[in-house]
Amino acid sequence: MPLGKRCIAEFIGTFWLVFGGCGSAVLAAQFPYGGEFPDTSNIFGLGFLGVSLAFGLTVMTMAYAIGHISGCHLNPAVSFGLWAGKKFPGSELLPYILAQVIGAIVAALVIYIIASGNGPVDFSGSNPLATNGFGDHSPGGYGVFSAFLIEILLTFIFLFVILGATDGRAPVGFAPAAIGMCLTLIHLISIPVTNTSVNPARSTGPALIVGIFGNNLALFGQLWLFWLAPIVGAILAGWVYSSVFAVPPVTTTGERVREPV
């Protein structure tokens, strides 16, 4: 498949991830079902569980839709992790990442436009437009060290699951479900800490729109963590999986090279 078509698939897939996941948080997480909107005391909205499922479902559905086209990365950290795991060429990192970031920005812009149809968007909270953050911008008030650690750890696990589920030795056809459920669990764990990133593109889109339309550059200034930590975690996972669990190469005679004991 030509690189251009694969990048278009990554743009569409990342758009769906951010629109579905962040959109559910912005538009439906606290929907009051009869009361005035927004009503943060109402218990009938999607809540943490619903938003976590929304993120997992976006990845799962797109994995089935474009996994055979682009690999369905939807995430610069995933692209770096697959590169570190020797599953993706480094020469294609930049175009993939650009497509992912642009898709995330467009999705965040569309969410903002839709949310504006119910009146001015409130940018006063700790995480407007489902942005990620630490300190004052952590939903639970967690500091920079906790945010950095959990983003590294959860991205490591996410890439480990991706590499394992897509391994040629894994059961065929179940990878999208495993990856989607993993992302759901990741959100259930870490929404209170950072509002869950594990994806630099997902963090960049909402932060940029909040910076432009909300005149709030504080969240944009925290983006460094949501690029650095996920990419570090992903590269570590790719290196560990390829170093420890990769299948030994096959010789010209059809025999596998024996691993050192």
Omega before 176 within 30 of 0, i.e. cis:
no
Q: Quote the pLDDT of residue 48.
A: 83
Residue 100, C-beta contacts closer than 8 angstroms, at least 6 positions apart: 10, 11, 14, 73, 74, 75, 76, 79, 201
Which pLDDT value is given to residue 35?
46
Evaluate whether residue 251 is within a structural domain: no
Assigned domain for 256 exists: no
179-204 pLDDT, tens digit per residue, is 999 999 999 999 999 999 999 999 99
> Is 121 in contact with 214 (CB distance < 8 Å)?
yes
How would residue 160 be classed by pLDDT, with cut points 50, 70 and 90?
very high
Give a yes or no: residue 160 inside a domain.
Answer: yes
User: Is it true that the peptide bond before 38 is cis, omega within 30 degrees of 0?
Assistant: yes
Give residue 253's pLDDT.
52
Number of domains the chain contains: 1
Residue 119 lies in a domain: yes
Share of the chain above pLDDT 70, in %: 89
Task: Inform me whether the pLDDT recorded for 87 exceeds 90.
Answer: yes
Burial of 187 (0-12, 13-18, 19+ CB in 10 A): buried
Distance spanning both ends of the chain, measured CA to CA: 40
Does 73 score more than 70 pLDDT? yes
Q: Is residue 249 part of a domain?
A: no
Structure token digits, residue 65 = 């839709």
Is residue 259 a part of any domain in this protein? no
